[in-house]
Structures are given as C-alpha cells and as structure tokens.
Structure 1
Amino acid sequence: MRKLTTLAALLVASPAFAASGPFFSLGNTDFIVTLAFLLFIAVLFYFKVPSLLAGMLDKRAEGIQSDLDEARSLREEAQTVLATYERKQKEVQEQADRIVEHAKAEASAAADQAKEDLKASIARRLAAAEDQIASAEAGAVKEVRDQAIVVAIGAARDVVAKQMTAAEANKLIDAGISEVEAKLH
C-alpha cells in the first residue's frame, strides 16, 4: 500500500505536467521518461533490490558493530596493560629508591668502618713508632754504657798498671784462678 502511495506521489509531483501537449502520448518525452522511471523502479522492486541493499547495509552495520566491540575490548585491554605497566613502573621506582637508600647506608657504614680502621692503623703506627723510639733509646743507653765501661776499663787499666807491682799481679791472678776453680766445682 505504501508503495502505491509513493508511486502516486511521484506521478503527481513529476515535472511531466510542465510539458506541453497531451501527456499520455508516446510523442511526449516527459511521459516516456516517467514510464521509464516507473519501469526502472518496478524492476528494482521485482528483483528485491531494496531488501538486498537493506541486507547489505545490515551486514555492514554488523561489521561496524563488531569492529567497535573489538576496538572497545582492545581499548580495555590496553588500559589494563597500561595500568599494569604503571604499577610495575611504580614498583621498580620504589625498588630503585630502596636500592639507592641501601647503597647510601652501606656507603655510610663503609665510611665509618674506614674511619675506625684508619684510627686503628694510626694507633698501631704510633705504638710501633713508640716501640722503635724506646728500642732506639735503649740501644743508645746500652751503647753509652758499653762505651762508659770501655772507658772505665781503660782508665782502670792505666791506674792499676801504674800502681800495681809484679807481686801484686801474681796474687790477683792466683786469686782469680782459685775463684774460677771454686765456681766450676
């Protein structure tokens, strides 16, 4: 029914009425054009072209809808991946901060240990230097004593040599021998 009203509206509103002469004659080009147009429309409806076009449009709409659904799912997946990446980046940043803080603490501990080691090394070196000084002092004192003994013996020899006679020397030698004998037995 609707098709008939559409066809009637096309006939009534056509520019064919603007042509001169009888309208329903084969000599009127407006009438021929109108008949050809109506015949073309009828052929289109006979071969169900509008329903084919509607089906093609529906298929296209379904394809577009599936593309939109796929794009939506890809977008959601991308947002999930982005959120995961951001979370991992935050974790890595926190881990890097902890590593830096740990490294600073270790460096501070190493510096403190190095200071303690340096103090201990300085104390050892000071003790070694004091030992060397004491040893050098003891060596110097011994050398001075040895030299004093040598000088004293030389002086005593000179004094004893000037004051001693042969008889006294023989008595001293005999006394020394008897003292050695007594100590050895």
Structure 2
Amino acid sequence: MSETIFSILADAASTTAVHAEPTALGLTATAWVSISMLLLIGIFVWKKVPALITSGLDKKIAEIKSQLEEAETLRAEAEALKDKYAARMSGAQDEADALIAQAKAEADDLLTKANADTAALIARRKSMAEDKINAAQLAAISDLKAKVSQVAINAASNAIAAKHDATADKDLVEKAINSIN
C-alpha cells in the first residue's frame, strides 16, 4: 500500500502543468508593482516627504539630546548634593565623636576632682576629729589635774590641821620671820 501512495505522488509531481504569467499592456505583475513603487516614491519626493520625515526625526533627536543633557545635568547636581550631604554626615560624625570625647574628658575631670575633694574633706574631718579629741583630752587632763589639786589641797589641809597645833604654828611663823630677816 505504501508503494501505491508513493507512486501516486511521484506521478502527480511529474505531471504539474506550467501556466503562463498574466500580463497587462505587455507588462508583468512585477513590472507593474515596480512602476507603482517608482511613482509612489516620485510623489513622496515631489511632496518633500523625506524632508518632513528627516526634519521630524531631527526634532525627535534634538529633543532626546536635550533630555539626555538635562538628565546629565540633574545627575551631576544629584551627585554634588550627595557628596555635600556625605561631607556633612562625615562632619557631623566627627563632631559627634569630638563631643563624646569632650564629655568623657569632662566626666573624668569631674570624677578626679570629686575624688580629690572627697579625700580633702575626709582629711579635714579627720583633722577636726583629732583636734576635738586632743582638746577633749587636754580638757579632761586639766579637769583631772584641777580635781587632783583640789583633793591634794583638801588632804594637805586636813593633814596639816590634824597634825599642827598652836606650837607647830608658832614654830612655822618664827621660821618664816627669820627667813625674811
């Protein structure tokens, strides 16, 4: 069966008829299309269509160029602003770092001063306490001496009063008078 299909196709291919190409006024379809195209191109040139197309394209090119130049200008301005703000940010960061360093230095100074003031206050209070203790000791010693002196005077008075009588007083008065002479 496959041989019959191939043989039919082969017979059909060999029996194709060649037809004559249609013509009008002795010109073929290709010649007419060529003439029409030439005529159309001639009308376009006569009506200056290529100049219109070229001027339109030139306008579009000029517009695109101006847009590109404007975009470049805007880009340059944006980069300048970016650099400006980056410099400001860098300056602000440096300023913040300086402020932090200054605050730390001031805090260290205040801490050192507070420690020195505390030490000085402790030394003053210690000195005042020692002075008070010394004054209290001196007052106690002085008071004790006064009491001891009073007790000694009273004891001596009692002893003298007990052991001395009128004859002993007479001897003492005579010795005192003789020592004056």
TM-score normalised by L of structure 1: 0.60
The amino acid across from 2:23 in the alignment is P
What does residue range 149-168 of structure 1 map to in structure 2 within 5 Å?
149-159=149-159, 162=162
Deviations 1:98-127, CA, capped at 9 Å, x for gaps: 333333333332232223222211211111
Number of equivalent positions: 149
Alpha-carbon separation, structure 2, partners of 1:24 and 1:117: 126
When residues 153 and 19 of structure 1 are mapped into structure 2, their CA distance, relative to the original with a 3 A threshold, is farther
2:24 counterpart residue number: 23
**Counterpart in 1 of 2:66?**
66
- 2: CA distance between counterparts of 1:63 and 1:157? 136
Measured on the aligned residues, the alpha-carbon RMSD in Å equals 3.6
After the TM superposition, list the runs of 4 or more consecutive aligned residues in structure 1 that deviate by more than 6 angstroms. Answer: 28-39
Question: For the Cα contact (< 8 Å) 2:44–2:50, is it kept in 1?
Answer: yes
**Partner in structure 1 of residue 93 of structure 2:** 93
Q: Structure 1: 5+ residue runs without aligned partners? A: 1-17, 172-185
1:29 positional shift: 8.9
* Contact 1:24–1:31 (8 Å) recurs in 2: no
Q: In the aligned structure 1, how far is the partner of 2:85 from the partner of 2:36?
A: 66
Q: Which AA in structure 2 matches 1:98?
A: A
1:133-172 aligned at under 5 Å gives the runs 133-159=133-159, 162=162
| Counterpart in the other structure of 2:54 | 54
Q: With a CA cutoff of 8 Å and minimum separation of 6, indicate the structure with the bigger relative contact order.
A: 1
Establish whether residue 75 from structure 1 lines up as the match of residue 75 from structure 2. Answer: yes
AA paired with 1:53? I
1:112 is aligned to 2:112: yes
Tell me if structure 2 keeps the 8 A contact 1:44–1:50.
yes
Q: How far apart in 1 are the matches of 2:159 and 2:77?
A: 119
TM superposition score normalised by structure 2? 0.61
Q: Which runs of no fewer than 5 residues in structure 2 stay unpaired?
A: 1-18, 170-181
Question: Quick one: structure 1 residues 159 and 19, their matched pair in 2 at CA, closer, same or farther if it must change by over 3 Å?
Answer: farther
1:50: how far off?
2.8
